[in-house]
Structure 1
Amino acid sequence: MSDHSAGKTRERGKRLDPADFIKANMRLAPVPSVPEVRLYQAHPGSGLRRLLEPDDDSGESRPEPQPPYWAYAWAGGAVLARYVLDRSSIVAGKRVLDLGAGSGLVGIAAAKAGARAVIAAEIDRNGVVALRLNAQANGVAIEIRDEDVPAGPPPAVELVLAGDVFYAQDVGRRMMPFLDRCLAAGIDVLVGDPGRAWLPRPRLCLLGEYHVPDVGGNGGSEPRPSAVFTLVPTNAC
């Protein structure tokens, strides 16, 4: 192998530092419809694929990288963040769980609205880094749980905020048993969603609606109706 080829191989195999990559290649900017919160957000020139490539060329079998959901402000999170900021009494003085936190938008909004403590559940390793950077950029303290929180008992919180956790059938099926355990433990659950296919509508009572962009994955779009619901044990609406 020539020196030039060997150099290219080493460059491909070099692990990018997620924090350095995010700060260098993503834009720290206010979130559309939630300008109180600034996030590191992807744009067409971010080159996120480089952060998602395998760490080396060893040929070893590696898990497929998670899609970079954390790089965008999805509608379900945006509407929930807007709702919380407009009605701070919902979270004020409470311990709150931001479930499937992604960028941390909802948890950051809760912290800004006066939550006593915020736990953010996120398992994507790059997402954890982005969440920490976003919390720092907004001057709030958030406890990050990078384990599979829905697989276990509810943490010691009084409120769960679930933004856009029903975007796929398998994800929704994993979330519902955990959310039911939360309800059984006396923990309130609020859901933010733009009306995705797997939303458990019979279990939801509408609280409020906003028009927010669903910017996840496509760089932006026209505002569309998105709603905040409370999850109930049975058809109690």
Structure 2
Amino acid sequence: MSAPARPLDELVAFVRARTAPAPVPLVPELVLHQASELTPLWHATAGDLAGWDDSPFWAFPWAGGQALARHLLDRPERVRGHRVVDFATGSGLVGLAAVRAGAAEVEAWDVDPFCEAAVRANAALNGLALPFRSGDPIGAPLPGVEVLLAGDVFYEGPLAARALAWFRALAGRGVTVLAGDAGRTYAPREGFTVVAEFQVPTTVEIEDAAVRGARVLQIMG
């Protein structure tokens, strides 16, 4: 269910009221508003969330995003001084890691208005600035962008196919494309280099194991 148009401040208040700030397991340098068994959002039903958002992807640090964020903080030269886009940002975790790693400019993109609220709330938690842009940039040439980051986008077939074709086109024009992948069904089988691997603490409420292996892929043109 897509959220109806509501004032951003109201969405931010919703995020803050139904989550709790906690360090990201693999990236404890950053704190996010997260759903947990102690928060109202964890126990909410679709009926409770009617008119809001019944698929709160923004409320969890997904394994692929954690791996990519960890890589950026371990290897800040990947983004330092560069203009960066964080595609399908969700909670803003990867974009915030890029800011913390010293990127010259970072812009977070997502189609979900709750993501804008989550990004604003999470940026404030960490004392960082992360501009947000609403919309679907797939296919856009992104002039001036030097690095594209994608935390965990290979979970759904049509999205993965569209995104991967775009990633390859950008890489062919010289953009560094880094994607986090926790073994999702629609991850690419070729045309990439694995630049990092991690064992990521997660939760069986959203994953199939308490620890999940995740890779950082650099997509080739």
TM-score > 0.5 by shorter chain: yes
Question: How many Å apart are 1:18 and its aligned residue?
Answer: 1.8
Q: Which moved more, 1:121-130 or 1:173-182?
A: 173-182
Report SS of the residue matched to 1:96.
strand
Residue type of the alignment partner of 2:51: P
For residues 217 and 204 of structure 1, what CA distance do their matches in structure 2 show? Answer: 30
The match for 1:69 is 57
The match for 2:79 is 91
> Within the alignment, does 1:53 sit opposite 2:50 as a pair?
yes
Gaps of 5+ in 1: 1-14, 56-64
CA contact (8 A) 1:73 1:215 kept: no
Q: Deviations over 1:90-125 (max 9, x none)?
A: 111111111110000000001001111111111101
Cα RMSD (Å) of the superposition? Answer: 2.3
Residue type of the alignment partner of 2:165: P
The match for 2:157 is 169
How many percent identity over aligned positions? Answer: 39
Q: Which moved more, 1:140-149 or 1:96-105?
A: 140-149
Report SS of the residue matched to 2:174.
coil
Matches within 5 A, 1:70-149: 70-149=58-137
> Within the alignment, does 1:181 sit opposite 2:163 as a pair?
no
Matches within 5 A, 1:35-50: 35-44=28-37, 45-47=39-41, 48=44, 49=46
For residues 51 and 16 of structure 2, what CA distance do their matches in structure 1 show? Answer: 20
Question: How many Å apart are 1:176 and its aligned residue?
Answer: 1.8
Query: What TM-score, normalized by structure 2, do the two folds share?
Result: 0.87
Q: Return the index of the structure with the highest Cα Rg.
A: 1
Equivalenced residues, count: 211
Q: 1:219 to 1:173 in 2, by over 3 A?
A: closer
Query: What TM-score, normalized by structure 1, do the two folds share?
Result: 0.81
Question: How many Å apart are 1:219 and its aligned residue?
Answer: 8.1
Residue type of the alignment partner of 2:176: D
The match for 1:209 is 197
For residues 25 and 197 of structure 1, what CA distance do their matches in structure 2 show? Answer: 30
Report SS of the residue matched to 2:33.
strand
For residues 118 and 35 of structure 1, what CA distance do their matches in structure 2 show? Answer: 20
